[in-house]
Structure 1
Amino acid sequence: MAKKGLDGRSRDAGGRIDKKHGNTLIGSLRKTYGDHFAEGRRSDMMLKTLLAETRSESLHAYLRKHHK
């Protein structure tokens, strides 16, 4: 069984914490980060598209820069 990591995410056998996949929908992320996450963007937009448009390297970087 995988051990729980930061923010309730699971660790794999090597101890790595899973990252969000690029095909995660903005609508799904709004359930975690609130309705104001990626405001003005469609809920069926993919995370990888949001990151490309905002020139962010990761969800973590996007949150630091755009989600206050």
Structure 2
Amino acid sequence: MAKKDAPGMRGQRSRNDSGPLRQKRGDTNVGTIEQQYNRDFGVRSDMHLDTLLEQTGHKSLNDLIRSDAGKKP
């Protein structure tokens, strides 16, 4: 099994040449993110991540996941 790239991350994410983790693609479907992080954001599953971030005012997927948005009881 491959070593995770950063603590607390699910799976591996590559890093940019300058070192930081690359951002999640904006055209990723929200349904994919909901399944991966066990969340329900109450939007259509075919909505793109960029659109959801714009609507919620979050700057990144990390900010969205760490917020209370979509947490299942």
TM-score (norm 2): 0.69
Residue segments in structure 2 that go unaligned for 5+ positions in a row: none
Larger helix share, 1 or 2: 1
TM-score (norm 1): 0.73
- What are structure 1's unaligned runs of at least 5 residues? none
Count of residues paired in the alignment: 64
CA contact (8 A) 2:27 2:48 kept: yes
How far does the alpha carbon of each residue in 1:2-38 deviate from its partner, in whole angstroms, 9 at most, with x for none?
x74122223347344232111000111122012x331
2:66 paired residue among 41, 64, 68: 64
Aligned residue among 2, 26, 34 for 2:30: 26
Structure 1 runs of 4+ with >3 Å offset: 12-16
